[in-house]
Amino acid sequence: MSHDSPLQDLDLAAGFLEPPPRRDTYAGWQRWRAGRGHFAPAPRLTLGQWRALSPRERSLYDLHRTATHVNLPLQETPMSLKVSRLVNRRIRNNALKTRPSTRAGVMVTGWGYQGKTETVCEVAAAFEDAWLAMHHHLHPQPTPGTRDVHAPVAYAQTPVTAKPKSTCQAILGFFGAETKRLTLPELIRQLAASLDDHGTKALILDDITRLRMHRADDQDTLDLIRAFMSMNVTLILVGVDILGSGLLRQGHFDEHTRQWVLPPSQHARVHGLEATQTERRFDLVELDRFRYTTPGQITAFHDHLAGLEANLRLLKAPPGMLTGGRMPEYLMRRTDGVVGLLERLIEDGCQEAMDSGKETLDEDLLDDVVLSLDDPERDALAGEVPAIPGSSRTRTTAAPRPACARGRGRNTVFDDHGPRGQAHG
């Protein structure tokens, strides 16, 4: 490749050859936090420039384009902004509290693929960036005598078929702690000590609604959440349809503070520990999908599409490829305004556009893209996989795509079902 080749950015993007870090360990979380937002997209080439490349350069460039299309950046949306603001305010204000009072937690609810995990992780990572910078500013030298790494944020995913013990183990796993053969009270004590030793300010427990709340151990689960909330961290619980899950069944909504209140446990001792008699407070915030009814909603969706389009590297894409004509309505209909489905459709569409040489996205091409969401990391039974519009697929079973996808009416009115009214409730 010559020195003035349009492809000199390629080595900047070498990061896409590494496997993505898992965020549920300290090392993985740090690697993700430090590397996020550093992906270098493929440079923009005209069709003429692309044609002038050598076969080797062209295949490298096409690989870089594919990497660009599957690593589309997170975009701020009005819905994600609402969630980020609240989560950020809670983490930051709680972290700055000097009294050991109980910290209000946050629950983030929404259906699958609506961006809960990404939105919450991004806010927490940004908090951690700022917190570490402040620490470095105040204590440039490592504090003498400290042995443990500083982990302002801990992230854990609730295990499928979670029980209180395995949930504690998952969180301790973030710190690489040995947890075999410990009893639940021992696990809880160790967790409290770990959070303290690592200076943890925010604990994210993702996919919390995998804890099914209709079993005999419901009480144990609620008591566990109370225990987490006594640990001087901001507890951030993320899940699908939290209100419908039973997690807040014993709670009540305080109109005045607009928070959910979990009363103290009825037991004197909980998990072998003395139960505290304080109530626990949570903000509940919903991460919604895009909607297409009011002018503001329509503008927000168009803005998002324009942002997506700016990141695509198709060689024959006309300006306004995603925002012009009936395309926004079409994309709304295909994805129900779910940000992750939209990303998937565009990603797969771009691959098809490159493979076929069409090098642009239009309805004809996208009609042939079948969305499928087989993701072993998601628990379909916990509602983490959304229904795909236009397919008869339900939450748990995949069904073939309708024979004539293009026969669907185009001027669908996008009903405002609301999250509770959707089919996957």
DSSP string, 309-325: HHT---TTPPTTTTTST
Euclidean distance between CA atoms 108 and 94, whole angstroms: 17
Question: Which span sits near ligand ADP by CB under 6 A: 113-121, 257-265, 406-414, 415-423?
Answer: 113-121
Calculate the CA dihedral of residues 242, 424, 168, 26 and round it to 10 degrees: -100
Cα–Cα distance for residue pair 230/102, rounded to 1 Å = 6
Q: Interface with ligand ADP includes 343 (CB under 6 A)?
A: yes
Rule CB under 5 A: which of 88-147 touch Mg ion?
Answer: 117
- For residue 148, count other CB atoms closer than 10 A to its CB: 11
Does 66 bind ligand ADP (CB under 6 A)? Our answer is no
The nearer residue to ligand ADP, 80 or 234, going by C-beta atoms, is 80
Is 160 among the residues that bind ligand ADP (CB under 6 A)? no
Count of residues binding Mg ion (CB under 5 A)? 1
Q: Which of 10, 45, 61, 80 binds ligand ADP (CB under 6 A)?
A: 80
**Among 25, 30, 49, 75, which residue sits at the site for ligand ADP (rule: CB under 6 A)?**
75
Does 419 help bind ligand ADP (rule: CB under 6 A)? Answer: no
Interface of this chain with ligand ADP, residues 375 to 414, rule: CB under 6 A: 384
- The angle formed by the CA atoms of residues 323, 328 and 333, to the nearest 5 degrees, is 160
Instruction: Give least dist CB 114 to ligand ADP, A.
Output: 4
Q: Which is nearer to Mg ion, 117 or 259 (CB)?
A: 117
Contact between 340 and ligand ADP per CB under 6 A: yes
Nearer to Mg ion, 122 or 223 (CB): 122
Query: Among ligand ADP, Mg ion, none, what does residue 259 contact (CB within 5–8 Å per kind)?
Result: none
Binding-site member from 41, 43, 105, 112 for ligand ADP (CB under 6 A):
112
Name which of residues 320 to 339 contact ligand ADP (CB under 6 A): 339
State the Cα–Cα distance between residues 161 and 50, nearest whole angstrom.
51
Q: Which window, 16-24, 74-82, 152-160, 314-322, contacts ligand ADP (CB under 6 A)?
A: 74-82
Buried b (16+ CB within 10 A) or exposed e, 375-414: eeebbbebbbbbbbbbbebebeeeeebeeeeeeeeeeeeb
Interstrand relation of 105-109 and 234-239 (parallel, antiparallel or unpaired): parallel
Q: What's the token pair of residue 254?
A: 């305080």
285 binds, among ligand ADP, Mg ion, none (CB under 5 to 8 A by kind): none
Q: Is 285 in the site for ligand ADP (CB under 6 A)?
A: no
Q: What's the CA gap between 132 and 154, in Å, rounded?
A: 14
Token reading at 45: 């080439």
Terminal-residue alpha carbon distance, the chain = 54
Residues in contact with ligand ADP, total (CB under 6 A)?
A: 17
Please give the structure tokens belonging to residue 151: 């982990």
- Which residue, 107 or 314, is less far from Mg ion as judged by CB? 107
Q: What is the number of H-type helices and E-type strands within the chain?
A: 13, 9
Selection from ligand ADP, Mg ion, none that 53 binds (CB < 5 to 8 A by kind) is none
Q: Can residue 110 be called a binding residue for ligand ADP (CB under 6 A)?
A: yes
Q: Shortest CA distance to 238 belongs to which of 176, 282, 290?
A: 282
- Name the residue type at position 425: G
115 binds ligand ADP (CB under 6 A): yes
Query: Given the rule CB under 5 A, which residues bind Mg ion?
Result: 117
Residues that bind ligand ADP (CB under 6 A): 74-75, 77, 80, 110, 112-119, 339-340, 343, 384
